[in-house]
Amino acid sequence: MGYNIHLRFPANISTQPVVCNLTRKFDLDFNISKAQISSGREGYLILEILGSKEQLEQAKKYLEEQEIIVSEVAQRIYRDEKSCVECGACTAICPTAALHMDKERHLAFDVEKCVVCTRCVKICPVRAIKSDIGSVNE
């Protein structure tokens, strides 16, 4: 089972191996989709975490004990099909091939593969790809 989660952490946590502890303590696998640390050392991560429901619940409790705000990432990326010109620029930068060209050379989007890295949002020349992650500073 996997989840995409958003972690917002205080400055005193930014130098701690919190994410590595998810693997060590709870036997979870993870992929970091996006990360940012401000000049004040506060930060956020968007992670794809893979493991059992029990492992994920234990990990969430651990993160919250570390004063990390944990929230599940809702719908991730949207493609405005009316605005999209199917240029394929997004497919070249998509790390999971969630955005790809199908056999008929049309842009296809597999939402289940999306890890919310938001690279496609930034590269789209006509701004047809959007993210609803308003809390994430790009």
Task: List helix spans (H) across 66-133.
Answer: 89-93, 119-123
The span from the CA of 57 to the CA of 130, in Å, is 30
State the pLDDT confidence band at 75, using cuts at 50, 70 and 90. low
The span from the CA of 67 to the CA of 7, in Å, is 10
What mean pLDDT value characterizes the chain? 84
Domains of the chain listed by start with CATH number: 2-72 (3.30.70.260), 77-131 (3.30.70.20)
Amino acid at site 111: V
Radius of gyration of the chain measured on its C-alpha atoms: 16
Task: Give me the pLDDT at residue 8, please.
Answer: 84
Sign of CA dihedral 77, 82, 87, 88: positive
The span from the CA of 7 to the CA of 36, in Å, is 11
Give Cβ neighbours of residue 134 (< 8 Å, ≥ 6 apart).
Answer: none
The residue whose two tokens read 């996997």 is 2
- Mean pLDDT (whole number) for 100-129: 88
Task: Give me the pLDDT at residue 135, please.
Answer: 38
- The percent of residues above 70 in pLDDT, for the chain, comes to 89
Task: Give me the pLDDT at residue 137, please.
Answer: 38
DSSP letter at 11? Answer: G
CB count within 10 Å of CB 39 equals 5
